[in-house]
Chains A and B, each alone.
Chain A
């Protein structure tokens, strides 16, 4: 480690911050440059569709670290300036402001950027995406009682935004293409519970595929669907997925996967001296052998810690394979849904506590007889106990019924 004196982290979101922090905690004492395209110091995105959008929180609550804690990391912090090019041979990151940052190792943590619909590829009043603080503040500005908001996209982001908007009195149409929105993420049972809640709260769920944003007098005025029909609205939120922000790596020799994510090996490395973490990074999941990229908040943290640890382990050091137990949560209508693993790909749903009808349950999600996911609401303990089964892809039913366990069998250290 003595030879390592210059490390750069590109992307100052959750993954970038945690990578930088983990390097310092592990004793790395050399120059540490954190480069971020946004003006704000690292902030948290999940509240953007929740308490920032509903106005309960102001932007300063989103800061991931206090100014003091950031200062302690002794960063060369370059905010508001994107990295434009990586020269792997010269080990240099070229910034948009013309500066160059030399580094022996670089951590790529540039996240993703939202897809946009035809007709609104360029900024257009009334056509929104929701990824940054600026995006959320712009959307919040439009949401008044009676605003007709069209949310395009049947994923978690669209669901949360629809729930928040309807809570603010907006008239919300949620345009989804799947017959059962959210089922691919949370499983059919939980998805059915949530879509039921959306309807109860007055969200109109419309099945169809958005083909383009309709403009009228220089503003978004709804969407045109693939079948040619139109849905009118005062504002449109495009929540139709995202793409890794990796175009700046073109020609750098850093391997990208088919979806544009940084194609890491099992150790979060993407070639000599190059590491990646967070929404932008894919890696071969040792449990399934399949390449995977997660857009989940806790993954950003865990993968960044992992990348930092392996970076410092050096070429001969003991690198560890990244084998997380994915975790995600979503807040809708006052309920917090929590999930481990992949409940969306399960073929069986085994309740271990409560019931969905009561809005309080924990369930093991099985795929071919093994626990590959767990999902629940308001049953934190029972759900956490299922985590060990998910980690082990344990057969069901367990020899030692989880519901009777009193202590956690989870490892003391994560990942």
Chain B
């Protein structure tokens, strides 16, 4: 799984951090999303999908194709 974020679209809700704190963080100044892990391990995929689904600004894109190691 490849995670991509669009910082310009992000509205700083922080829902992604609540859903997947190992993958997303927020800049303190404005709450904008920071990507901690663009290729999260399999056990976090569900949480990352939750994060993308709840993002109010559609700022998280997931490429679900299996990782080529």
A residues adjacent to B (C-beta < 8 A): 14, 18, 21-22, 25, 44, 46, 61, 63-66, 297-298, 300-302, 305, 327, 329, 336, 338, 378-381, 383-384, 387, 408, 410-414
Contacts and interface: CB of A to CB of B under 8 A. Distances in A.
A47 B66 CA distance: 34
B18 A61 contact: no
A21 B53 contact: yes
Contacts of A378: 28-31
A338 B14 CA distance: 10
Contacts, number: 81
A381 B34 CA distance: 13
Nearest to B49: A25
Contacts of B11: 46, 297, 329
Contacts of A14: 56
Contact of B56 (A25, A63, A298): A298
Given A298-B15, A408-B17, A414-B18, A380 B53 contact: no
Nearest to B15: A414
Instruction: Identify the interface centre among A300, A379, A384: most chain B CB within 10 Å of its CB.
Output: A384
A63 B9 CA distance: 11
Contact of A298 (B9, B13, B47): B13
A336 B31 contact: yes
B27 A305 contact: no
A410 B55 CA distance: 16
Majority SS at the chain B contact face = loop
7 contacts: A21-B53, A46-B57, A65-B58, A301-B56, A336-B31, A380-B29, A412-B21
Given A46-B11, A413-B19, A414-B18, A22 B53 contact: yes
Which range contains the number of B residues in contact with the other chain? 20 to 34
B18 A380 contact: no
B50 A413 contact: yes
A297 B56 contact: yes
B17 A302 contact: no
Contact of A305 (B13, B54, B57): B54
Contacts of B26: 380-381, 384
A380 B19 contact: no
A327 B13 contact: yes
B18 A44 contact: no
B50 A414 contact: yes
B59 to A, nearest CB: 10
B42 to A, nearest CB: 16
Contacts of A412: 18-19, 21, 47
Interface in B17-56: 17-19, 21, 26-31, 47, 49-50, 53-56
A25 B18 contact: no
